[in-house]
Amino acid sequence: MPSPETCATAANIVNDVLHHGHSLDSTAAKRLKLQPAQNHSEIREIAWGSVRWAYRYRRLLQQKLHKPIRSQDTILENLLLCAFYQYEHLNAPDYAITSGAVEAANLLGRGHAKNLVNGVLRAHLRDPAFITAEQEEAQYATPMWLLSCLREAWPDDWKDIVDSYNSRPPLTLRVNTQFTSRSNYMLRLAEAGVDSTASNLSPWAITLAKPRSVLRVPGFSDGLVSVQDAAAQLSPCFLGPLQGLRVLDACAAPGGKTGQLYELATDTTSITAIDLPDRTNLIRENIQRLKGHVDIIDGDVTEPDRWWDGKPYDRIILDAPCSGSGVIRRHPDIRVLRRHTDIPRFSCNQLNMIQQLWPLLRRGGCLLYITCSIFPAENDAVIELLLENTKDACSVPSDYSLGESTRFGRQFLPCSEGDGLYYAIVQKC
């Protein structure tokens, strides 16, 4: 049962996101440092869930308030959203959730509003608010601009995509085949009483029946497995064998793909990873855990003159910054923080990144373009512009059969198996 301290911390995190526009991951990391480790899981559950359903709960709350909450007291609004989430999704008595929220108001310096919190929550329990079919933002917990984009891009699949947005993401592992096989590792999990299933999407992926801390995943600290979504494990399926090749992983942080490249490389493979200086520490941590070695560069991929040694690469992976529309279930704050006007900006930046990296690719070499977006404007449209404006660029069809075939690549939609990612191969002809 969540304590008042847990409720207060979760409310602060939600307020940082919904009112101040902060990233959920970054604000949670700061707030959780001040709380006992045993409370972290519960705080994350409430905070992530409340942000995930914010568009719905805000509408429900409006129906129970006689007048809007003052702008200086938005923390109260978000405390109430956290309580609504707990009523619907946590196995705790209603009275305990109500009491915890009331006491949390005091901890948040809003003791004067305890009666308001108590009154709103009791009124909600007596006469639950409801959402009509016309209130689509609330019904789907998704802003209208995003619903419109999904309907346009995926008219037959948009409801399934929204359902995935509103679900908890699975915990998927990538087996390090340098040390063990997927089947042998699954036996080890079974012996430890951990239920798991082999992914149909990736030959290295295992999904746990119940998420758990990585500290409780057998062999994680020894590099036996890594946490990585199944759809994000598919770079090798598009790149092919890496023996004797010089490979650049651009925008590589946090290093999941870099680590996988290292696991599958041979002694004759040269791997370099690059990202901004404030992000490369994540790559180093991942590679260190795998007991591997790759060259890691602190730099901006759009400024190769500052870091490139002049030797061409055989393969370049560009996992470009994007809208994140394919990973919203993992990052529910995207629905709150992202705007429709962001998409053209991302598309422009993505094309610029490819164009800046293109001279670094040897003739006959391939660039693998990846996004975690499901919008064509960030995917096929970017590749189309590259092909139109680059004489020595040609699209290469993939042999990989899963996912949705698009004009230039393959689109994986968010589902129970994995997140939504796009892959396309372009060769220097």
Write out the catalytic residue numbers.
372
- Confirm if 372 and 412 have CB atoms less than 8 A apart: no
Output phi, psi for 361, to 5 deg. -95, 130
Q: How far is CA 63 from CA 67, 68, 141, 161, in A?
A: 10, 10, 16, 28
The DSSP bridge partners found for residue 371 are: 422
Please give the Cα distance from 14 to 27 (Å, whole number): 9
DSSP H/E element including 173: strand 171-175
Please give the Cα distance from 74 to 15 (Å, whole number): 7
Long-range contacts, 288-293 (Cβ 8 Å, 24+) = 289/221, 289/223, 289/226, 290/176, 290/223, 290/226, 290/259, 290/262, 290/263, 291/223, 292/223, 292/259, 292/262, 292/263, 293/262
Would you tell me how many other CB atoms lie within 10 Å of the CB of residue 300?
A: 16
The DSSP bridge partners found for residue 172 are: 207
214: DSSP letter: G
E strands, 257-398, are: 270-275, 295-298, 313-319, 361-371, 393-396
Please give the Cα distance from 56 to 74 (Å, whole number): 17
Handedness of CA 329, 145, 67, 63 (dihedral sign): negative
* Amino acid sitting at position 220: F
For the beta sheet containing 225-227, the strands, ordered from the edge strand earlier in sequence to the opposite edge, are 196-198, 205-208, 171-175, 225-227
193: DSSP letter: T
The DSSP bridge partners found for residue 422 are: 371, 411
- Confirm if 372 and 327 have CB atoms less than 8 A apart: yes
User: Of 105, 116, 106, 64, whose CA–CA distance to 82 is shortest?
Assistant: 105
User: Of 309, 319, 166, whose CA–CA distance to 235 is shortest?
Assistant: 319
Please give the Cα distance from 310 to 370 (Å, whole number): 24
Residue that the structure tokens 């993992």 belong to: 330
Please give the Cα distance from 145 to 429 (Å, whole number): 39
